[in-house]
Amino acid sequence: MSVELANKIAEIRADFPVLETQVHGKPLIYLDNAASAQKPLQVTERIKQFSTFEYANVHRGLHHLSNVATEAFEEARGRVAGFLNAENDKQIIFTGGATDAINMVAYGFLEPQIEAGDEIILSVMEHHSNIVPWHFMRERHGAVLKWVGVNQLGELDMQAYEAAFSDKTKFVALSQMSNALGTITPAKQLVDIAHAHGVPILLDGCQGAVHLKNDMQALDCDFYVFSGHKVYGPSGIGVLYGKAERLEAMRPWRGGGEMIREVSVDNVTYGEVPHRFEAGTPPIIEAVGLSAALAYMQNIGFDTIQAHEAALAKHAMEAVGAIDRVTIYGTSPSKGAIVSFSVDGIHPHDLAMVMDRSGVAIRAGNHCAQPLMEHFGVAATARASFAIYNTHEEVEALAASLTKAIEFFG
């Protein structure tokens, strides 16, 4: 790593005071970023400033403070649109999270047109949030789920994907980057194939939004979702991007204030996009925090983020892979900074608990990806996932704590 980049990472780490935490008398090494990233001071301070001096309910007020809050809220929408290079702000819907956004598409877009026997294409590497809403379509409307497998490297089987389409295919929902393996899928190719068959496609960008630079106009997907807490922002907020014509075709999912134009005793007229999908008081403070988080990432620059994380991923794969009895899941050359692994004879939960004694925070379990675990014949894995503030010294500490845990269990 260059001296310039090392200095930059040191500056970034100073923005995250939580990294100074001591765990069991050891410095915290936070490697659970795929579950949720930490927030920089720029985000927490913006949230505090807005909450203390600028907060009011948005849109419906005529007083000064409501106008100030509305401006900040809508500026956040614009920030997200710019972050994704959407055509305009109206394509950005604020939701309660990525799970909420996927359910919104399932019920608002797909359910009105789904019929028994219609097919939905998924992959075995999907997060449960991008599986269960489609199971609802199967249970309640007789939809058929078509599953695309992965190879031993953890890469999507593209031949099987193309073969999965039929004249019954109604929808495609796939991950841009696997939370359990780190595999980066060929998103543009997935979109192009779906569109060649006349089928709309949703991409789950929960991991992709924080690790990959995205351009919705170039990617051309119909829907894209991500969550605030994985991009260094607050929890309780997510984003649904949709093509204008897809959003116009969607029915509202939730009813209430803000999403209507007129209400009478025998009729209701819905508002325009995006507000027709944002019933009730929206996540105002969270949107402002998300805006600050995206601004923070844009200030660092995706070239810097991707270069640093790629180096961390390579280092971690080599360091962990060199340890005896370790099996790594997801070894594709096209992967992000996520390393999932198991140790022969030791349950991942036990590994995680012992490694925590060294201050190393990893996640163990099925990572809400049980079909993928079944594919690889395991019940769970341990997962170390990296962010822009992690260092090569922390990679070495990960390997050392893993080695120590293995020795502990014998």
Q: How many CB atoms lie within 10 A of CB 166?
A: 11
Q: What is the dihedral of CA 18, 321, 211, 189, to 10 degrees?
A: -160
CA angle 305, 318, 328 (to 5 degrees): 100
Helix count and strand count (H, E) for the chain = 15, 17
Bridge pairing between strands 260-263 and 29-30: unpaired
Bridge pairing between strands 29-30 and 360-361: parallel
Residue 361: both structure tokens together: 């925070």
Per residue, the 3-state secondary structure of 172-237, as one string, reads: EEEECECCCCCEECCHHHHHHHHHHCCCCEEEECCCHHHHCCCCHHHHCCCEEEEEHHHCCCCCCC
Residue 323: both structure tokens together: 């340890």
Residue 368 falls in the annotated catalytic set: yes
Q: Is 386 helix (H, G, I), strand (E, B) or coil?
A: coil
Whether the upstream peptide bond of residue 252 has omega within 30° of 0, thus cis, is: no
N-to-C CA span, the chain: 35
CA pair distance 405, 184, nearest whole angstrom: 30
Burial class of residue 22, CB neighbours in 10 A (0-12, 13-18, 19+):
exposed
The one catalytic residue among 311, 368, 378, 400:
368
Residue 154: both structure tokens together: 């953890």
Q: Which residues are catalytic?
A: 368
